[in-house]
Amino acid sequence: MQTITSAYANKMLKSLEEDKAFWVNKEAASSTYVAAINEDPVIPEYDYSEVASMITAIDEKIAIIKHALNITNATAKVQVGNSEMSIDTILIKMAQLNKRKGVLDQMRKQLPKSRQEQHSYTSRNTVPEYRYINYDLELIKQEYENVSKTIMEMQMALDKYNQTVQFEVDI
């Protein structure tokens, strides 16, 4: 058993993925070779059993670490503003809020009235058309700020958790 933080677990996962990529690339480059009929082939060093066992061992470590992370993310609670949330809920809500923030960002950048461009050359309509917003621009700006603040609070709680809270993993 090893006691680690989420931040450390993610660094371990990145390192393991890099190790796995090395073995997968080695297999791709060395498992076959090309030689002309009239030449002595240059056969790369390759041992399927060794490569397969390395990849399997790395995958097993990755699965163990990810499982431990999933358990701690689902069970650990942290304070975010006035409410207590699990890490997995924070991650889900942050993704949702980031999408909403994008919509609000587009809305807050709209002018109250803008000229609608004509995209058709066959259109003979010479009367200009205008696009108007159908919402309170100040309300949208306030909502954007509220969503941004909520995301920041969640990120700060998540960062603190990832750096300080420890859990056990059997690797």
Per residue in 30-51, pLDDT (tens digit) is 999 999 999 999 999 999 999 9
Tens-digit pLDDT string for the chain (171 aa)? 999 999 999 999 999 999 999 999 999 999 999 999 999 999 999 999 999 999 999 999 999 999 999 999 999 999 998 999 999 999 999 999 999 999 999 999 999 999 988 766 665 667 889 999 999 999 999 999 999 999 999 999 999 999 999 999 998
SS3 75: helix
Please list, in sequence order, all residues whose beta carbon lies within 8 angstroms of the beta carbon of residue 86, skipping any fewer than 6 positions away. Answer: 73, 74, 75, 76, 77, 78
Strand blocks (E) in 55-107 = 77-80, 83-86
pTM of the full structure: 0.79
Residues 162/7, Cβ–Cβ less than 8 Å: yes
Please, which residues bridge with residue 3 across strands? 168
